[in-house]
Amino acid sequence: MTYKQIKWLILIIPTLTIGLWEYVRHEFLLPYISMELGNWLAPVIVLLVSLLLLTQLFKMIEHYQEELNRARALQAVMEEREKIARELHDGIAQSLFFLSAQVAQLERMPRAEELPLDQLKESVHRTNDYVRQAIASLRQSAEFDCNPWMQSIDSLIEELRRETALQIETRWELPEERLSSREKVELLAIVREALLNIYKHADATRVLVEARATDAGWICQIVDNGKGFGDGMEHSSNHYGLKIMQDRADRMSWCLRITRESGETKVTVVKEGRTDVQIPRYDRG
């Protein structure tokens, strides 16, 4: 029996009981039971029926409510674990990757050349800041996320420019008021993940990050001239970063496409299904 059916039974049973009693009393029991006695028996009968039937229905509702509370508690735990995973991947893991890249560069340098210890110290301090920010973020509700708009992406782009030879161009023409607070967080996380994937795997030299509003919503695209996915998109599901991007897009009901055209890899995020909107390609020459 469904929860909705139980609620309807709780509403209908007392009405049916009193209606059936009045019918039986007037049709069959009127010669034997006076009006005054019948009026006294009516609430007693309703009370007895309620004790026999409605208490069972109330127990069923309590059982459903306990199951719902357990499901909600489990969902809260899973959401918290997913949030921790995103925090670790989006901040700490990325910072540690930069550290490993600097160490690898250090190993390839001639011993006579001066070691870039200051850069390593700065990276360690940034990783420590990421840890502190992640802990503080996990202790706060999502509604109190006060990261300035575009600050994290601008910071990442500047870091990529310092640490790599990537030429990154931005054409962000998407007004802030077109996105809710949650949409800002999710979209910027996708852009950040796409940029890190380009840095780690694409061997690209140029990147374009572009976003603009459309009549039905907005569109954001990250384009690079790297080597793409090699054997094809069928292997992309093995990358946790790409899975996070897809999960974020699905959670917001956005369309996420990763395509390879004319030597370019394009990560496109579209709100309200406007996959036919075209964004001008950057000049690779």
Residues with Cβ < 8 Å from 102, sequence gap 6 or more? 116, 119, 120, 123, 163
Q: Any idea how long the chain is?
A: 285
Tell me the CATH number for domain 148-285: 3.30.565.10
pLDDT at 134: 59
Burial 217-237 (b: 16+ CB within 10 A, else e): bbbbbbbbbbebbeeeeeebe
* CB-CB contact of 202 with 224 (8 Å): yes
- What are the residue boundaries of the structural domains of the chain, listed by start? 3-72, 148-285
Q: Please state, in angstroms and rounded to a whole number, the distance separating the CA atoms of residues 108 and 50.
A: 83
β partners of residue 276: none
C-alpha Rg value of the chain to the nearest Å: 31
Please give the pLDDT value at position 220.
95
One digit per residue, the tens of pLDDT, for the chain of length 285 reads 787 888 888 888 888 988 998 888 888 888 888 888 888 888 899 889 888 888 888 888 888 888 888 888 778 767 766 766 666 666 666 666 777 777 777 767 665 455 566 666 666 666 666 665 555 555 555 444 444 566 667 777 787 787 778 899 999 898 888 888 778 878 888 888 888 888 878 889 999 999 999 988 999 999 999 887 654 444 444 466 788 788 889 989 999 999 998 889 999 999 975 444 444 444 443
